[in-house]
Amino acid sequence: MDWVQVVIQGALLGGLYALFAGGLSLAFGIMRMVNLAHGDFIVLSAYIGLVIVQGTGMHPLAAIPFVVAIMAAAGYLLQRGLLNRVLGDDIMPPLLVTFGFSVIVQNLLLEIFSADTRGLQTGRLLTASLSVGAGLSIGWLPLITFAASVAVIAALQLLLARTSLGLAFRATSDDRTTARLMGIDTRHIYALAMAIAMGIVAIAGILFAVRTTFDPAGGPARLIFAFEAVIIGGMGSLWGTLAGGIILGVTQAIGFAIAPGIGLLFGHLAFLLVLFARPQGLLPRTRMEG
Amino acid sequence: MTKEARTPSLTRRTMLKAGGAAVAISGIGFPAIAEDRVFKIGYVSPQTGPLAPFGEADSFVIKTAGSILANGVKVGGKNVQVNIYTKDSQSDPNRAAEVAADLILKEKVDLMLVASTPETTNPVSDQCELNEVPCVSTVAPWQPWFFARGGKPDTGFKFTYHYFWGLEDVIAVFTNMWDSVPTDKVVGGLFPNDGDGNAWGDKEHGFPGPLAQKGYKLIDPGRYQNLNDNFTSQINAFKDGKVEIVTGVVIPPDIKTFWTQAIQQGYKPKAMSVGKALLFPIVIESLGDTGNNISTEVWWTPNHPFKSSLTGQSSKELADSYEKATGKQWTQPIGFGHSLLEVAADVLKRSAGPGDRKAILDAVTKTKLDTIVGPIAWGGPGPFKNVSKTPLVGGQWRLGGKHKYDLVIVDNKTAPNIPTGGKMEPIA
């Protein structure tokens, strides 16, 4: 058994988990909102990517900016037009509304695209790999996915720490009422946060779609790893989310290597262990600070 | 999204209105025939959910063969109209049982038809056995249908009848294919922890025994969960064991994850024969150009030398009419969906009319029909009282034919009457 390969592949997969989790983490950190349709939005992004790729013939990775733009705009409108109205002290209404969205998105996709399994074609990139010696070779696609994950998290962290928009995000997250008194339009801020979250979802969706295949019903299965990554890393902490994703990916990989049946169990156990020993997560932030 | 690919799904959805409502065949425009009673047929298949590719062809089948049936069948010189009620199992065994019970108790169907994977055929068959409604099922290997339902070879079932091939056939087909390419005879197994994976990997009834008999060494890293994101440990085990042949029964997303990870990590077997996922062209297409010469079991193709007893169409004509109607490449379930309606028409003709389930059951047991998937007849020894076997051969997906990938039959030792279209080639 080649343990180096096992750990590397686990960590690279963890990057994808962190991308799945990034938008969830951001939405929770700023709005204290849990988006149950997150997994379905990932699949929706994959389908938007499919439409663009089939319509224009461009490379799936080149389509990412367009999908990001579409999803971000949709995220802004969704938050501004609907989710803002149900946000409040009670966490149930947004949960129920996003759950409803999950059902709607799945069935709309089924209606439009049928239940066929789809994939995005990346041509030779799909199987291209980088040989790093000692019989070890690493696929370019997993590497690109991991790099994208680190870049997204770093960019978000910079945005939150260094820009006035980030300041407004943090202020709104800390105390919505006071932020409002200071002249911050929190409805706009929430909508922007959702736009960014959905932008990350778009990147995750495309990178997921080139890695494996997707169908309308596949969203919820992706949601659980995103949740676990967020909770392992610490609610609302972005670097924590990246760490959480990697920990999840690596523990699963080690579990798989011991016996293929227990890989997922290992991931869940790591999650429970963190929840038990450090309920606040590894890198907790009660507030979104830089 | 291309237009051709989109239209059929819309048609299907329009046909099968929300919730799997009954397809009102009479509503398509056939004049109601003044009859006191009509035959009622229930048809359960997975229209949505992960198993939906199996049910994809159903709306076409119902529209074509079903509409012929809807015109009525001659029973004792009288034309009796047939209503077909289609229900969606949503790929969920509980839901399948529920809609079957509905069809039996509310619609009072005379005959139940059910297709596609043990997750659909078994709960529906169980409901029929319980409620004493004749049921004909297909598109599930017979062992998971017979044994998983607690079938005992000496008594069998009274109301439920099945036709398809069995695990012994798929093992024979796969090993025949592997015998024709030079390998070290070490086989790696990808068996997930689901009904099919456990049946295929089962030490007694599955692959391990027969493979050892035929001189193959099986490396089985163990059951894994479906929707696996990381096959590194399996790939490592195959590399360590010098596995040159990969087999298994894998779902579509997992086959792409496994295959791309394998190539990325520098592992390429000489042969890969996988059930379930690789039945459908759309899945092999998702592998890009790397899917050439991956092999699978073949239950029906346009080249099968059989004719429909209902329309007289040859296999090729049926596949062509599907491609023309939907703009999609033919798939194997088309033939089997069509054949279910052939059996239904034949059975109803030989029955005593609607409402007499006993006579219908009697007609089912006496079936001897040449269908588009081959001859069907029940009443053999042991399980074969309820199981009729249809032929199985082996095929490879090849690039550069009429479609992006075409399924070429490369081994017919198990059914020499089905012509081959080429020779087994190792994966380049």
For residue A285, is it within any domain?
no
Q: How many CA atoms lie within 13 A of A207 on its CB side?
A: 29
A121 in reach of chain B (CB within 8 A) = yes
What single-letter amino acid sits at B321? S
For residue B417, is it within any domain?
no
**Which chain A residues touch B60 with a CB distance below 8 Å?**
none
Q: Do B290 and A126 touch (CB under 8 A)?
A: yes
**Which chain B residues touch A119 with a CB distance below 8 Å?**
256, 285-287
Please check whether residues B268 and B309 belong to one and the same domain.
Answer: no
For residue B425, is it within any domain?
no
Integer Cα distance of B144 and A281 in angstroms = 45
Please check whether residues B287 and B319 belong to one and the same domain.
Answer: no
Ranking B17-31, B95-109, B213-227 by mean pLDDT, the lowest is B17-31
Range of the domain at A84: 3-113+161-277
Alpha-carbon gap: A32 to the closest alpha carbon of chain B (Å)? 29
Are A95 and A36 within 8 A, CB to CB?
yes
Alpha-carbon gap: B51 to the closest alpha carbon of chain A (Å)? 8
**Which chain A residues touch B230 with a CB distance below 8 Å?**
9-10, 13, 249, 252-253, 256, 263
Residue B109, pLDDT above cutoff 60: yes
Q: Do A137 and B265 touch (CB under 8 A)?
A: yes
pLDDT tens-digit readout, B366-379: 999 999 999 999 99
Please check whether residues B178 and B118 belong to one and the same domain.
Answer: no
Please check whether residues B33 and B77 belong to one and the same domain.
Answer: yes
Q: Do B224 and A5 touch (CB under 8 A)?
A: no
**Which chain A residues touch B264 with a CB distance below 8 Å?**
127-129, 137-142
Integer Cα distance of B61 and B345 in angstroms = 14
Please check whether residues B276 and B312 belong to one and the same domain.
Answer: no
Please check whether residues B136 and B183 belong to one and the same domain.
Answer: no
What CATH number should be reported for the domain holding residue B243? 3.40.50.2300
Closest CA to A20 of A143, A120, A153: A153
Q: Do A117 and B227 touch (CB under 8 A)?
A: no
Please check whether residues B158 and B172 belong to one and the same domain.
Answer: no
pLDDT tens-digit readout, B336-365: 999 999 999 999 999 988 888 999 999 999
- Structure confidence at residue B30 (pLDDT): 45
pLDDT tens-digit readout, B194-211: 878 888 898 887 899 999
User: pLDDT truncated to tens, each residue of chain A (290 aa)?
Assistant: 578 889 999 999 999 999 999 999 998 888 888 899 999 999 999 999 999 999 999 999 999 999 999 999 999 999 999 999 998 888 899 999 999 999 999 989 988 987 778 888 888 888 888 888 777 888 999 999 999 999 999 999 999 989 999 999 988 888 888 988 888 899 999 999 999 999 999 999 999 999 888 988 888 888 888 999 999 988 778 899 999 999 999 999 999 888 888 888 899 999 999 989 988 888 776 444 44
Give the nearest partner residue to B282 out of A117, A135, A218, using CB atoms: A117
Cα torsion through A71, A75, A77, A80, rounded to 10: -170
Alpha-carbon gap: B409 to the closest alpha carbon of chain A (Å)? 24
Alpha-carbon gap: A288 to the closest alpha carbon of chain B (Å)? 31
Residues in chain B: 428
Ranking A19-33, B34-48, B156-170, B224-238 by mean pLDDT, the lowest is B34-48
Alpha-carbon gap: A1 to the closest alpha carbon of chain B (Å)? 6
Terminal-residue alpha carbon distance, chain A: 41
Q: Do B48 and A217 touch (CB under 8 A)?
A: yes
Q: Do B266 and A257 touch (CB under 8 A)?
A: no
Terminal-residue alpha carbon distance, chain B: 32
How many structural domains compose chain B?
2
Please check whether residues B291 and B360 belong to one and the same domain.
Answer: no
For residue B419, is it within any domain?
no
Q: How confident is the model at residue B36 (pLDDT cuts 50, 70, 90)?
A: low
Please check whether residues B143 and B184 belong to one and the same domain.
Answer: no
- Structure confidence at residue B7 (pLDDT): 40
Please check whether residues B37 and B159 belong to one and the same domain.
Answer: yes
For A47, the closest chain B residue by CA position comes to B1
For residue B422, is it within any domain?
no
For residue A84, is it within any domain?
yes
Residue B15, pLDDT above cutoff 80: no
Alpha-carbon gap: B425 to the closest alpha carbon of chain A (Å)? 21
**Can you name the residues that pair with B79 across neighbouring β-strands?**
B74
Range of the domain at B174: 168-298+393-411
Please check whether residues B260 and B279 belong to one and the same domain.
Answer: yes
Residue B24, pLDDT above cutoff 50: no
Query: Judging by beta carbons within 10 Å of its beta carbon (0-12, 13-18, 19+), is residue A282 exposed, middle or buried?
Result: middle
A:158-197 residues touching chain B, CB 8 A cutoff: none
Please check whether residues B118 and B267 belong to one and the same domain.
Answer: no
Q: What SS3 class is residue A192?
A: helix
Integer Cα distance of A280 and A157 in angstroms = 20
How many structural domains compose chain A?
1
Q: In 10 A of CB B256, how many CB atoms? A: 26
A123 in reach of chain B (CB within 8 A) = yes
Give the nearest partner residue to B263 out of A9, A127, A213, using CB atoms: A127
- Structure confidence at residue A221 (pLDDT): 84
- Structure confidence at residue A1 (pLDDT): 56
- Structure confidence at residue A177 (pLDDT): 87
For residue B420, is it within any domain?
no
A:30-59 residues touching chain B, CB 8 A cutoff: 50-51, 54-55
* Sequence-distant contacts of A49-53: CB under 8 A, at least 24 apart: A49/A120, A49/A205, A49/A206, A49/A209, A50/A113, A50/A118, A50/A120, A50/A209, A50/B1, A51/B1, A53/A120, A53/A121
Alpha-carbon gap: B96 to the closest alpha carbon of chain A (Å)? 18
A–B interface: beta-carbon pairs under 8 A: 165
